[in-house]
C-alpha cells in the first residue's frame, strides 16, 4: 500500500478562507485574473483540485493520509492539489523499491506553457509537452544535474524520523537524496505529472497584464488540444478534463 501525502491544499470553494490564505505576491495576479475571466480564480482552482482528486482515486493500492498518520516504514509520496499520478504508481514502487532504500525518485514530467523565454527554449527541445526545467543546461552540458532532483510529486520516502520532513519540501528532499546516494533508488518510469496550469502560482506571481494572461490562455487551449506522449498516456483523461475546463473559461 502506497501512502499519498497532500502537502498543500486549500478550501478553494470558500472565497473568504481562500483570500485569508492567499500569499501577498499572488494578490495582484489574482486580481488581474478576476478582471479578465468570468470564472473567479478560486473556483477555477477548485476544479483543478477536483480533477486531481479524481486522478488520485484511480491510483490502485494507494490511500491518501495526513503526514502524521503514515505508519513508520511505509512508503509515502507527496502531492499538491493540482498534481497527477499514474494509476500504476503503487505497483511500480512496490516492485522496484528495495526494502533497504530510504528514498526513490523518477523522471519529472510537466504539463505547462513556458513562463519565460529561457523556459520556452527548453520546451522546444525533445519532449516539449512534458519536460524537466533543466533541459537547456543539460543540452549544453550533458553531465549536468537538474537543479532539483526532487520536484513536488516525483519522489517517495520510507517513513522515519529523518525522512518524514522531506515530504514537506522538495528542496530538502533533493539535498537529502544527494547526500545519501546509497540509500536512494532511481526508477526509470515516469509515474507523475505536474499540471502547471494557467492558474498556477508560477504563472501569476509576476502580476501578468491582461494581454499577457490572454496570450497564455490561448496557448493553454492549444496545449490541451494535443494528446500526451506515450510515456504518460495515462494522463489523457485529465488532459481532456482540462480541455473542457478551459473551454468554460469566458473572457470578460
The full set of domain ranges for the chain reads 2-247
pLDDT at 81 over 70: yes
- Angle at which helices 210-224 and 236-247 pack, to 10 degrees? 140
Q: Can you tell me the mean pLDDT for 217-233?
A: 94
User: Is residue 164 within 8 Å of 66, Cβ to Cβ?
Assistant: no
CB-based contacts of 209, cutoff 8 Å, min separation 6: 32
Identify the pLDDT of residue 130. Answer: 39
User: Is residue 199 within 8 Å of 48, Cβ to Cβ?
Assistant: yes
Lowest mean pLDDT among 141-150, 175-184, 217-226: 141-150
Predicted TM-score (pTM) of this structure: 0.86
Q: Which residues sit opposite 64 in a β-bridge?
A: 4
Q: Where are the alpha helices (DSSP H) in the chain?
A: 15-21, 27-36, 41-57, 89-96, 117-123, 135-140, 170-179, 201-204, 210-224, 236-247
Identify the pLDDT of residue 138. Answer: 41
Identify the pLDDT of residue 120. Answer: 42
* Percentage helix, strand, coil for the chain under 3-state DSSP, each rounded to 5: 45, 15, 40
User: Is residue 70 within 8 Å of 5, Cβ to Cβ?
Assistant: yes
Helix (H, G, I), strand (E, B) or coil at 35: helix
Q: Is the dihedral of CA 137, 141, 142, 146 positive or negative?
A: negative
User: Is residue 85 within 8 Å of 59, Cβ to Cβ?
Assistant: yes
pLDDT at 205 over 70: yes
Greater pLDDT, 10 or 189: 189
The Cα–Cα gap between 130 and 113 comes to 10
User: Is residue 104 within 8 Å of 93, Cβ to Cβ?
Assistant: yes
Identify the pLDDT of residue 199. Answer: 94
Identify the pLDDT of residue 140. Answer: 46
- Angle at which helices 236-247 and 41-57 pack, to 10 degrees? 160
Residue with cell 543540452: 139
Residue with cell 470578460: 252
Q: Can you tell me the mean pLDDT for 21-45?
A: 94
Q: Can you tell me the mean pLDDT for 209-215?
A: 95
Identify the pLDDT of residue 125. Answer: 36
Helix (H, G, I), strand (E, B) or coil at 63: strand
> Mean pLDDT of all residues in the chain?
86
User: pLDDT band for position 249 (50/70/90)?
Assistant: very high
- Angle at which helices 41-57 and 27-36 pack, to 10 degrees? 100
Greater pLDDT, 7 or 56: 56
Lowest mean pLDDT among 105-119, 130-144, 160-174: 130-144
Helix (H, G, I), strand (E, B) or coil at 193: strand
Condensed to tens digits (0 to 9), the pLDDT of residues 142-180 reads: 444 556 789 889 999 999 999 999 999 999 999 999 999
Amino acid at each position: 500500500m502506497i501512502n499519498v501525502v497532500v502537502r498543500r491544499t486549500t478550501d478553494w470553494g470558500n472565497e473568504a478562507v481562500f483570500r485569508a490564505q492567499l500569499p501577498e505576491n499572488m494578490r495582484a495576479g489574482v486580481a488581474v485574473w478576476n478582471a479578465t475571466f468570468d470564472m473567479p480564480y478560486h473556483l477555477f482552482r477548485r476544479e483543478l483540485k477536483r480533477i486531481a482528486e479524481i486522478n488520485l482515486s484511480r491510483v490502485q493500492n494507494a490511500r491518501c493520509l495526513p503526514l502524521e498518520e503514515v505508519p513508520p516504514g511505509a512508503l509515502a509520496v507527496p502531492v499538491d492539489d493540482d498534481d497527477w499520478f499514474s494509476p500504476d504508481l503503487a505497483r511500480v514502487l512496490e516492485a522496484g523499491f528495495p526494502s533497504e532504500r530510504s528514498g526513490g525518485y523518477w523522471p519529472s514530467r510537466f504539463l505547462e506553457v513556458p513562463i519565460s523565454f529561457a523556459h520556452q527554449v527548453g520546451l522546444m527541445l525533445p519532449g516539449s509537452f512534458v519536460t524537466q526545467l533543466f533541459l537547456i543546461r543539460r543540452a549544453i552540458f550533458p553531465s549536468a544535474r537538474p537543479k532539483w532532483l526532487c520536484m513536488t510529486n516525483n519522489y517517495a520516502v520510507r517513513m522515519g524520523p529523518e525522512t518524514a520532513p522531506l515530504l514537506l519540501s522538495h528542496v530538502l528532499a533533493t539535498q537529502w537524496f544527494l547526500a545519501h546516494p546509497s540509500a536512494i533508488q532511481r526508477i526509470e518510469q515516469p509515474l507523475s505529472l505536474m499540471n502547471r496550469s494557467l492558474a498556477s502560482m508560477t504563472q501569476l506571481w509576476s502580476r501578468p497584464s491582461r494581454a499577457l494572461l490572454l496570450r497564455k490562455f490561448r496557448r493553454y487551449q492549444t496545449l490541451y488540444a494535443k494528446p500526451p506522449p506515450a510515456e504518460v498516456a495515462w494522463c489523457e483523461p485529465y488532459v481532456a478534463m482540462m480541455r473542457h475546463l478551459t473551454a468554460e473559461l469566458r473572457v470578460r
